[in-house]
Amino acid sequence: MKTNAGRFFEDYRLGETIAHAVPRTVSGGERALYHTLYPARHALYSSDEFARACGLPAAPVDDLVAFHLVFGKTVPDISLNAVANLGYAEGRWLKPVFPGDTLRSESTVIGLKENSNGKSGVVYVRTRGLNQRDEAVLEYVRWVMVRKRDEAAPAPEAVVPPFAKSVAASDLAIPAGLDFTGYDFTLAGEPHRWDDYAVGEQIDHVDGVTIEESEHMLATRLWQNTAKVHFDATNRPDGKRLIYGGHVISMARALSFNGLANAQMIVALNAGAHANPCFAGDTVRAWSEVLDKAETSAPGVGALRLRLVAVKHGTEPFRLKGEDGKYLPGVLLDLDYWAVVPR
Residue among 214 and 297 whose Cβ is closer to a second copy: 214
> If DSSP codes are grouped into helix, strand and coil, which group holds residue 151?
coil
> 218: Cβ–Cβ under 8 A, 6 or more apart, which residues?
33, 37
What's the closest the beta carbon of residue 254 comes to a second copy, in angstroms? 9
Give the 3-state secondary structure of residue 267: strand
Residue among 209 and 273 whose Cβ is closer to a second copy: 209
Query: Could you tell me if 186 and 50 are in contact, meaning their C-beta atoms sit under 8 angstroms apart?
Result: no
Smallest gap, in angstroms, from Cβ of residue 50 to a second copy? 6
Q: Least CB distance from residue 155 to a second copy, whole Å?
A: 29
The least CB distance from residue 181 to a second copy, in Å, is: 19
* Dist CA 272 CA 339 (whole Å): 15
Which residue, 152 or 198, is less far from a second copy as judged by CB?
A: 198
* Maximum CA extent, the chain: 63
- Give 39 or 156: the residue with its C-beta nearer to a second copy: 39
- From its phi and psi, is residue 22 left (phi > 0), alpha (psi between -120 and 50) or beta? left
Least distance CB 207 / a second copy (angstroms): 5
Q: Who's near 340: CB < 8 A, 6+ residues apart?
A: 172, 174, 178, 180, 263, 264, 265, 267, 296, 298, 301, 302, 303
Calpha distance 106→86 (Å, rounded): 19
Least distance from a second copy to the Cβ atom of residue 129, Å? 13
Q: How far is the CB of 33 from a second copy (least distance, A)?
A: 5
Q: Which is nearer to a second copy, 13 or 313 (CB)?
A: 313
Q: How far apart are CA 189 and CA 196, in angstroms?
A: 15
Task: Report the b/e string of 68-107 with b at 16+ CB within 10 A.
Answer: bbbbbbbbbbbbbbbbebebbbbbbbbbbbbbebebbbbb
For residue 19, the SS3 value is: strand
- Is residue 93 within 8 A of residue 266, CB to CB? The reply is yes
